Amino acid sequence: MSQTPREILLDRHREAESKLDAIRVDVVSTIARADGEAIDREAGATGRSIGGVARLLWDQLFRPCRQVWGGLAGVWLAILILNAASYEESDMSRADAEISIEESMDGMRARRQLLAELSGGAEPLEKKARPAAIRPRGETRRETSNV
């Protein structure tokens, strides 16, 4: 029976398998021990002082992506500069700028009348009388119930 090249290589190096397993176990335990010590150091530093918390925050949040945070800071700085540059104080005071509702309604009526005159098809609008004062609902109900 013929063996594949893979089987031939595995047969040749079968005795090295136990040595490789021992090396693998040693390396994994060393890495786990180092990670555990690093976690203990971080937990100790975090629990002891504000400086430890700041250092942990810097290492975990800001340090891995400094370019991104720098870019965001630059964008915000540009926004603030543009906002400050576009701010202009107007010469008009607030009291001058406010227009009463009556004045704005008169202006709208004048525009409508001008539009009607310019279109030629419609007669100029006449100034409408103000509607009667609105009565409370109770009076309206009494009138309808009496009829």
Identify whether 46 is part of a domain.
Answer: yes
Phi first, then psi: what are they for 47, rounded to 5°? -75, -25
Identify whether 80 is part of a domain.
Answer: no
> How many Cβ atoms are within 10 Å of 54's Cβ, its own excluded?
12
Identify whether 49 is part of a domain.
Answer: yes
| 11: Cβ contacts below 8 Å, ≥ 6 apart | 3
What is the mean pLDDT for each group of 10 consecutive residues in the chain (147 residues)?
A: 85 87 92 80 63 82 85 95 81 60 88 88 57 63 54
Largest CA distance in the chain: 115
Identify whether 142 is part of a domain.
Answer: no
Identify whether 147 is part of a domain.
Answer: no
pTM listed for this prediction: 0.28
Positive/negative CA dihedral, 12, 17, 18, 19 = positive
Identify whether 20 is part of a domain.
Answer: yes
- What's the structural domain count of the chain? 1
Structural domain that includes position 10: 5-70
Identify whether 120 is part of a domain.
Answer: no
Instruction: Please report how the helices 50-57 and 16-48 are oriented relative to each other, as an axis angle in degrees rounded to 10.
Output: 130
Residue-wise pLDDT for 53-80, tens only, equals 888 888 888 888 888 888 999 999 999 9
